[in-house]
Chains A and B, each alone.
Chain A
Amino acid sequence: MNIDLTIKTGRNINRKHRIKSTIVGWSFVILATIMICVFYFYPMVQALILSLQSGSGANLTFVGLKNYARLFNDPTFLTTVKNTVIYLIIQVPIMIIVALFLAVLLNNPKLKLRGLFRTAIFLPCVTSLVAYSVIFKYLFSEDGLINVMLTKFSLISEPINWLGDPFWAKVTIIIALTWRWAGYNMIFYLSALQNIDQSIYEAAKIDGASPVQQFFKITIPLLKPVILFTSITSTIGTLQLFDEVVNITQGGPGNATMTISQYIYNLSFKYTPDFGYAATVSYAIVIMIVFFSIIQFKVAGDKNE
């Protein structure tokens, strides 16, 4: 009898305690939860509904999946996807290799003025997107510094029409993106490199591993999670690319450098506004980001995770 009572009250206390801690827990997160629902999930759902509508400006009508079908027959959309994918498969690997290379160089304890170099290489990504785009536009203009230098060193006989030629315009964008973001990714690699235990390298040296072997057999495998992280964030960043292209080439010549994001902007604000179709294109980006992220996880991710 007595024992039974103790168990009962014990349970009661336990339950009370549990409810109490649940309430306390919820009270901490409830505000954030509401905010996230209002500012993240509500717009996402709203955009999904919007993507099923079409019409100019405020006269929207429900069209079902028609907008999604339209995507595949829209040459402009397909061109922007093509452009974006070109940036992705060329720029992201270049940038990651450059960043990795710089990080390994700057991680060398014998190097003097390391701090200065690190700051210098990291600085580009602190500058304003628009400001650096404008400067790049002037550097690469017909009589800009780049052309002047290349002609002076007799590397080219006639100035390259960087911004007016479809091929060179893409090259310009890729150079600009690499300039700005390589330093940013380098910081991740640097911090990851500093977490690698030096004794592993010492052991490798004793076993007679060359620096190249050390790099490929130790550094790269240990940096794998960071490389995965940077390549996913860079992929997402590239798929959402907007500022550089708009400010350097305005998507031209023709649509040679236009990105999906710029197309969304044009559909919403430059043309007769069709917010429904613009929302559909936005969802296309979402789908692509999910797709590419899954691929990257599959290729580079750890199977145990």
Chain B
Amino acid sequence: MKKILTLFLVSILLLTACSSKTKNGGAADSTKSTNEITVWTWDPNFNVKAMKIAEEFYKKENPNFKLKIIENAQKDVVQKLNTSLSSGTTKGLPNIVLIEDYSAQSFLKAYPDAFYDLSKYFKAEDFAEYKLASTSLNGKHYGLPFDTGVAGLYVRTDYLQKAGYTVDDLQGLDWNKYIEIGKKVKQATGKYMLALDPKDLGIIREMIQSSGSWYVKEDGVTLNLADNEPLKEAFKTYKEIVEAGIAKPVSDWGQFISSFNSGAVASIPTGNWITASVKAEASQAGKWAVVPFPKQSGIPNSVNATNLGGSSWYVLNIPGKEKAAEFLAKTFGSNVEFYEALNKEIGAIGTYKPAANSEAYKAADEFFGGQKVTADFSKWMTEIPQVNYGAHTYVIEDILAVALQDYLKGKDLDKVLEDAQKQAEQQVK
């Protein structure tokens, strides 16, 4: 009886041990032998489609190529990447991943050697300068710059007309004028001027980048909150917008999208990647136009161009990296035709400079009343002031979100930003 029991126990132990081993071995083999390249990305209408178009282009010359696109929300991509990389195992990681420019430095610094150096696969000077600060570390280019995030002010021309404005009145706008127009629009049409999510400081980011300023100084490390004039001005503008009652409060992305698809707001100050979502409401064709982003009032070097978001492709340093890098180089890294197709099919504007001269970029867009939207965005893209995002954008932003609430409630602005700076210094040391 004893013997049988011992035998039974030992065999169970052995079985569990063996089975886990064979499982590991099996998985590792399967990733090695396959020709498949895996991609993690978000946004089915934009990034996923872009990858699919890239696959089509690459397949013309490499018919055996296989691309597996795994779509997740951006949050989940970040979370999965963090868990996998910090656990030290490369199993289950994709070959290519899309990372937002704001978070790129944090990944590159937190996981040295996790990403593959792409420097020799593409010419960095072919891409917009402001992208490269976030995609490279110590002179090596780890990310292949993708969409620009160049921002514009999307406006409903019909609402503006009712308030007595034309698109020409909106060229070279600053935020004071914007608020003034907003009030008139509200009076004339009862519609809000824009939608604001209190948890999303994107609009603050856009404002300060238009003045060449950021939460950190050029070194990407020194915090720049307390005596940051553009940031102060941005806070003031935000408060004025809220107090003027021209902002529709929304609390998430879906509500944000529906704020303009339902016709509840007259303008969207945001990145060009929103084009696809604006166009999704076909009944509003011809009613929209895009004008340059408002500059900051009272800040002399502020320009009518800025950036919001934008992301780039990174290759993980795991088996299959050469193949993945090769695929990216032949499509996103050098192919003007590909960028033309991208622009035609999903309205995406890359940051690949040679593509800007192509005919497709100069086409008129009927949805925007015949405006040459892509050409306009490409022009503004070259005017975006370059800033170093550093590695801590979202930590600082959560602190600033509290600061903004305090300021809205009436706390002194200088004090609010000083406190935020102190808190941020503790957090990111």
Contact = CB atoms under 8 A, between A and B. Distances in A.
B401 A255 contact: yes
Interface string B61-104: 00000000000000100110011011010000000000000000
A27 B402 contact: no
A250 B109 contact: no
A123 B224 CA distance: 51
A175 interface: no
B157 to A, nearest CB: 24
Contacts of B401: 252-255
A110 interface: no
B106 A266 contact: no
Interface in A99-154: 137, 141-142
Contact of B391 (A20, A141, A249, A272): A272
B285 interface: no
Interface string A249-283: 11111111000000000101111110100000000
A141 B255 CA distance: 9
- Among the interface residues A23, A58, A255, which one has the most CB atoms of the partner chain B within 10 A? A58
Contacts of B5: 23-24, 27
Contact of A57 (B82, B249, B251, B406): B82
Contact of B86 (A58, A161, A252): A58
Interface size classification for chain A: 35 or more
A73 interface: yes
A57 B78 contact: no
Contacts of B252: 137, 250
Contacts of B428: 272
A256 B398 CA distance: 11
B111 A269 contact: no
* Interface SS, A side: loop
Contacts of A248: 251
Nearest to A255: B402
B404 A161 contact: no
A76 B398 contact: yes
A269 B12 contact: no
B82 A137 contact: no
A57 B1 CA distance: 52
- Among the interface residues A163, A166, A268, which one has the most CB atoms of the partner chain B within 10 A? A163
Interface in B224-275: 248-252, 255
Interface string B341-359: 0000000000000000000
A59 interface: yes
Interface in A195-252: 248-252
Contacts of A252: 198-199, 251, 401
Given A27-B9, A141-B251, A161-B249, A268 B405 contact: no
Interface in B399-429: 399, 401-406, 423, 426-428
Nearest to A57: B110
Contacts of B405: 166, 253-254, 256
A271 B405 CA distance: 20
B395 interface: yes
Given A137-B252, A254-B401, A254-B404, A273 B82 contact: yes
B26 interface: no
Contact of B106 (A56, A75, A141): A56
A30 interface: yes
B426 A270 contact: no
Contacts of A23: 2, 5
Contacts of A253: 198-199, 401, 405
A292 to B, nearest CB: 26
A273 B251 contact: no
Interface in A12-42: 20, 23-24, 27, 30-31
A270 B85 CA distance: 15
B46 to A, nearest CB: 22
Contacts of A301: none
Contact of B199 (A20, A137, A249): A249
Nearest to B247: A164
A7 B114 CA distance: 71
B249 A163 contact: yes
Contacts of A58: 85-86, 88, 110-112, 114
Interface of A: 20, 23-24, 27, 30-31, 56-59, 70, 73-76, 79, 137, 141-142, 161, 163-164, 166, 248-256, 266, 268-273, 275
9 contacts: A30-B9, A56-B110, A76-B423, A137-B252, A161-B249, A164-B251, A250-B252, A255-B402, A269-B83
Given A255-B401, A270-B394, A273-B86, 7 more contacts: A56-B110, A57-B109, A74-B427, A75-B423, A161-B249, A248-B251, A254-B198
Closest 7 CB pairs of A and B: A57-B110, A254-B405, A252-B199, A253-B198, A272-B106, A254-B402, A56-B110
